[in-house]
Copies of this chain bind each other. A is one copy, B any other.
Amino acid sequence: MVLLELSNVNINSNPSLSSNQPEQMQFVEEVGLMFELAGLPRMSGRIFGWLLLSSPQRQSHGQLAEVLQASKGSISTMTRLLIQIGLIERISIPGERRDYFQIRPNAWSQMTKQRMAQITAFKELAAKGLDLLKDSPPVQQQRLREMHDLHAFLEREMPLLDQRWEVEQQQQLKRETVS
């Protein structure tokens, strides 16, 4: 039996040809560019962008390839990447051969985690630099000191900010269920 894949039912059917709502495709493309700016492959951004809009939220490997006009290989590689950095998850359904992907509930907190890693790396690099200048006068060290202290500060503060966000989220949710 042949199973038809349908994406974005009744909003934008016709998954093929990427003639699929030009505005939506433009959005997808923009997300791609943003990802690129952030140092990730453009195609990974396209996938993420499409998964932000798609209905249903979960999309199969094949659907992604068709909508985004990309090769199966590319979809395979990029979904693996996105899963690895925690932005999407793979959904497998018993009795279904194909895999589905969807955005992870708290995808963005993964982003901040990555950012945190970078901050820590900067802090440690600065420490390394300071070690090289340990016999130099403080004036010489100042540039690296500033770099170090700022990143130590951020390393301390970002998680707190994250927490505050969680709390605000919860309250938002509560307010919605009340009204």
A contact residues vs B (CB 8 Å cutoff): 11, 21, 23-24, 27, 30-31, 34, 37-39, 51-53, 55, 57, 103, 107-108, 118, 121-122, 125, 128-129, 132-133, 135-136, 140, 143-144, 146-147, 149-150, 153-154, 157, 161, 164-165, 168-169, 172
Are the CB atoms of A108 and B147 closer together than 8 Å?
A: yes
Tell me the dominant secondary structure on chain A's binding face: helix
Are the CB atoms of B165 and A153 closer together than 8 Å?
A: yes
Contact of A53 among B37, B39, B53, B132 (CB under 8 A): B132
Residues of B within 8 A of A121 (CB): 34
Q: Taking A39-B39, A108-B150 as contacts, is the C-beta distance between A129 and B34 under 8 angstroms?
A: no
